[in-house]
Amino acid sequence: MMIETATEPRAASPLRGKRILVAKPGLDGHDAGAKVVALAMRDAGAEVIYTGLRKSPAYIARVAIDEDVDAVGLSILSGSHKELVAETIAALKEEDAGDIALFVGGTIPAEDIDALIEMGVRTVFTADMKLDDVVDAVAKALA
């Protein structure tokens, strides 16, 4: 007797098989938000790497490339998001990794969001967003 494939759906893991780097560039010293997002990604099935605090864009790009991640999520609360995003994108492009999807979260004023998207950020997440919506947006972008 051969086993036929089960028809029941398996547990939903929208990010299963995806590798995601959650990174903290710049000088702000708060990573509660980054950690919450990292755990939400994990629970959605992703393999998540977290950098720890105060990393340079060059460091983040190096880790993203070595770990061959599908996406990088930058958590920035310091206000210097435009500079840090520009530097991270430049560092990724320099190593032929401009195709890695970039997401940004943190305290980003509404008027800056368009500029970040213009620079190449896929989605900007603000603190009032639900975690499920963050996961869904990442899953959709990586599908």
Binding residues (CB under 8 A) for other proteins: these are 1-6, 8, 10-11, 13, 15-17, 19, 38-39, 41-52, 59, 62-63, 65-68, 95-97
Q: How far is the CB of 6 from other proteins (least distance, A)?
A: 5
The string of DSSP letters for 36-98 reads HHHHHHHHTT-EEEE--SSB-HHHHHHHHHHTT-SEEEEEE-SS-HHHHHHHHHHHHHHTT-T
18 vs 81, which CB is nearer to other proteins? 18
96 vs 128, which CB is nearer to other proteins? 96
45 vs 120, which CB is nearer to other proteins? 45
Q: Give the helix/strand (H/E) hosting 29.
A: none
Q: How far is the CB of 117 from other proteins (least distance, A)?
A: 25
Q: How far is the CB of 119 from other proteins (least distance, A)?
A: 21
70 vs 124, which CB is nearer to other proteins? 70
Give me 23's structure tokens: 């990174």
Please state, in angstroms and rounded to a whole number, the distance separating the CA atoms of residues 15 and 141: 11
Q: How far is the CB of 90 from other proteins (least distance, A)?
A: 16
